[in-house]
Structures are given as C-alpha cells and as structure tokens.
C-alpha cells in the first residue's frame, strides 16, 4: 500500500510540461480552453450569439451559434481544427462537439484528455488559476486584440519556448496573404520575424530551412500546418525557416472569401 501511494504521488505530483488545448463547438457558439500545467493556469474564451467566424475551404462568414448545425448538415466536422486556427491561431489538441460550454465535467475530460492526464488535472486543479476571457463580439476581426490575448493566454508553451524563427513570403497576387498566415502562426506561439512578397513562384507552398531546424520540438507541428515540399539552405541561420505560400494554398482555404468582406 505504501509503495502504491508513493508511485501515485510521483506520477500525479509532478506537473506536466506544455499545455492541453480544447476547441469547443457548441450549439450557442465556440470556446477555446487552454490547460497549462506548466503555468498553473486554465484559460477560456468563448464567442456566442451574433459573433461571426470565417469557415475556410469554400464557405464564408457565419454566426457562431449556427456553426455546429452547419457542420453537421454538411458533414464537415473535420473543419473544426481549421476554424479555430484560421480565426484565432489556436491549435486544439482535441475538438469537442458539445451541447453547451460545460467542458470541465469529469466524464468529458476523461474522454478528451485520457485517464492519466485527467488524473493529473484533477490532482492540480485546486491550485490552478482559472481565467475566463471577456470576448468582444468582433474579436476575430480585431487582430490587435487577438495578438495580445492569444499569445498571452492561449499560445502553446512549446512554441513560445522554441528557437525556430519564421519568415513568410507571399508568391501570389493575393494581397496580405503572408501577413494573414504570419499572424496566425504568431498567435499560436511561433516567432515570426516578418512577412514579404516574393517573385518566386511555388504551386502550393515550400519550406526552406537552415541547419538544426529539424532538431526543434516545434518543427513537427510546423510541418503538420504546412504539408509542403522542404529543402535545406546552408545560407540560412540555424533554426531559420522561410515559408513560401503559393496560389493553391490561397485557393484551398478560399482566402478571397475572407478578405472579400473587409
């Protein structure tokens, strides 16, 4: 018995590194949840009612209280991660479709986090600080506010601590495309050094990397966002990444539908 208690204390008494993020799609809106064992905080922010979000891949702007119904009718629940990323730069570990925002029910968390992570959260939650962000109706269109809130409360700790440095290039005629994508990467926690236009033409996208880039813990996450051809350039500094965005990427997410409302 004493040995079992010792093992449990060892397992659950140590805080996990990194964060666990959930995107909630409910009948009355969207919510972001970031559980940070490393910072000892739980941050939440929700959009409800008439607030609108942009749905990529051929859709348009929709009220958040209609998003779940639309995704169910169109059999497009797989758009969930893209909705959170392209509107907020938020990369959820799990998308939950719930009737309401009651994400912290034990049965919900066990299914989402897994038993071990839930037990650690259950062990630490009384010592964690809970902060619910007051979300403005047009938050997703106020990029200056998102730049503050997302990096401070919802960015991935692993990305924030990463030594990757990103520079984005727009190779298309779509104005502001590199800045649009750069903002989302910055909100997610990546270090974006700048955005520029480029005369080089790529079809979808290309990643040009310096030495040691593939040694960074956040490199695999970047590859998951940009499933592109990759080439190495010894002229770049260590951990430096140049991201070239092409026409197909803009069409794939229907970028013209996003900028057409401004």
Residues 37 and 167 grouped into a single domain: no
pLDDT in tens, 46-62: 888 788 888 988 788 88
Q: Measure the CA–CA gap between 231 and 243, rounded to whole angstroms.
A: 11
Q: Measure the CA–CA gap between 78 and 182, rounded to whole angstroms.
A: 23
Among 116, 136, 152, the domain boundary falls at 152
Domain assignment of residue 242, given as a range: 157-259
Q: Nearest CA to 65 among 116, 27, 101?
A: 27
Q: Measure the CA–CA gap between 124 and 122, rounded to whole angstroms.
A: 6
Q: Say what the pLDDT of residue 136 is.
A: 54
Residue 1 lies in a domain: no
Among 134, 152, 170, the domain boundary falls at 152
Q: Could you please report the per-residue DSSP string of 238-254?
A: TTEEEEEE-HHHHHHTT
- H or E element at residue 187: helix 177-188
What average pLDDT does the chain have? 86
CA distances from 3 to 10, 152, 227 (A): 11, 40, 47
Residues 75 and 165 grouped into a single domain: no
Give the CATH number for residue 94.
3.30.420.590
Residue 5 lies in a domain: no
pLDDT in tens, 118-146: 999 999 999 999 998 766 555 555 677 77
Residue 2 lies in a domain: no
CA distances from 55 to 29, 83, 84, 225, 235 (A): 14, 6, 9, 17, 38
Residue 3 lies in a domain: no
pTM as predicted: 0.87
Among 112, 134, 152, the domain boundary falls at 152
165-170 vs 52-54, strand pairing mode: unpaired
Domains in the chain: how many in total? 2
Length of the chain: 262
């Amino acid at each position: 018995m004493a040995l079992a208690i010792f093992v449990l204390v060892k397992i659950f008494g140590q805080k996990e590194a990194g964060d666990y993020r959930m995107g909630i799609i409910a009948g009355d809106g969207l919510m972001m949840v970031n559980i940070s064992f490393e910072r000892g905080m739980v941050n939440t922010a929700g959009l409800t009612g008439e607030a609108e979000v942009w749905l990529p891949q051929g859709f348009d702007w929709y009220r958040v209280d209609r998003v779940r119904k639309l995704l169910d009718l169109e059999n497009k629940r797989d758009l969930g991660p893209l909705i959170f990323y392209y509107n907020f730069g938020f990369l959820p570990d799990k998308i939950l479709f719930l009737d309401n925002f009651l994400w912290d029910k034990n049965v919900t968390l066990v299914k989402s986090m897994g038993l071990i992570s839930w037990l650690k959260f259950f062990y630490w939650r009384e010592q964690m600080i809970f902060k619910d962000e007051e979300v403005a109706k047009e938050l997703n269109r106020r990029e200056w506010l998102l730049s503050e809130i997302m990096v401070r409360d919802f960015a991935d700790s692993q990305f924030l601590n990463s030594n990757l440095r990103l520079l984005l290039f727009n190779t298309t005629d779509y104005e502001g495309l590199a800045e649009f994508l750069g903002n989302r990467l910055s909100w997610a926690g990546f270090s974006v050094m700048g955005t520029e236009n480029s005369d080089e033409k790529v079809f979808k996208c290309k990643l040009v990397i310096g030495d040691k880039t593939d040694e960074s813990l956040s490199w695999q996450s970047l590859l998951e966002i940009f499933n592109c051809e990759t080439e190495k350039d010894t002229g770049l500094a260590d951990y430096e990444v140049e991201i070239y965005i092409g026409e197909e990427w803009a069409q794939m997410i229907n970028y013209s539908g996003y900028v057409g409302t401004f």
